Amino acid sequence: MSPLTGRARVEVDVAARGLEVELVDRVGATSLEHAAELLGIDPSGIVKTLVVKHKNGSYLFALVPGDRQISWPKLRALVGVNKLSLPDEAKALEATGYPRGTITPLGSTTAWPVYADASMVGKRVSLGAGEHDLSLFVDADALIASFDATVADITEPLAPRQ
């Protein structure tokens, strides 16, 4: 039997968690801003799932709205460590079973702890769905509760582009 596709892993996990989601094709998105345009939402409504390497070798997921970026000092303080980093593409794939651009905590091959930015609370958000050109919409509060995620201010506004 072949392993489940990314989308199928997401669908199995969504069902197990009792989440209501809407899967939406976003074929041809070239950037987060373009994906938001294709989905008819503001970039803040897209939540990036970043896999972050802990200094002890484990990982965590950071859920970051599209108009924001991780605040490393805030996240390190919350986790209680002095070093966190973004793994390279191969390590991110190994840690989650998903290639970059498709990563989601839903259906991840390992259930890493989830940290959600407080600005997500009370919103309907879009996030990766385990495959390129596919997004899902979900109630952020239900998603957060289903993972027993830690909710905190872990981001800051995006730096202006040069």
- Rounded to the nearest angstrom, the gap between the alpha carbon of residue 131 and the centroid of all alpha carbons in its chain is 13
In angstroms, the CA 158 to CA 162 distance is 12
Q: Rounded mean pLDDT of 42-53?
A: 95
Q: Is residue 1 part of a domain?
A: no
pLDDT at position 30: 87
Query: 134 lies in which domain range?
Result: 6-155
CATH number, domain of 22, equals 3.90.960.10
Using DSSP, state whether 57 is helix, strand or coil. coil
pLDDT at position 71: 97
Cα–Cα nearest to 97, from 113, 16, 105 = 105
Q: Is residue 16 part of a domain?
A: yes
Global confidence as pTM: 0.94
- Dump pLDDT digits (tens) for 56-86: 999 999 999 999 999 999 999 999 999 999 9
Q: Is residue 162 part of a domain?
A: no
Per the structure, the count of domains in the chain is: 1
In angstroms, the CA 65 to CA 88 distance is 21
- Dump pLDDT digits (tens) for 9-35: 999 999 999 999 999 988 888 888 898
Is the pLDDT assigned to residue 116 strictly greater than 70? yes
Average pLDDT, the chain: 93
Indicate the pLDDT class of residue 2, thresholds 50, 70 and 90.
Answer: low
| Contact assessment for residue 121 and residue 129, using Cβ atoms and an 8 Å cutoff | no
* Complete DSSP assignment for 122-150: T-EEEEE-SSTTEEEEEEHHHHHHHHT-E
DSSP bridge pairs for 48: 64
Residues of the chain with pLDDT > 70: what percent? Answer: 98
- Rounded to the nearest angstrom, the gap between the alpha carbon of residue 7 and the centroid of all alpha carbons in its chain is 14
Q: Is residue 31 part of a domain?
A: yes
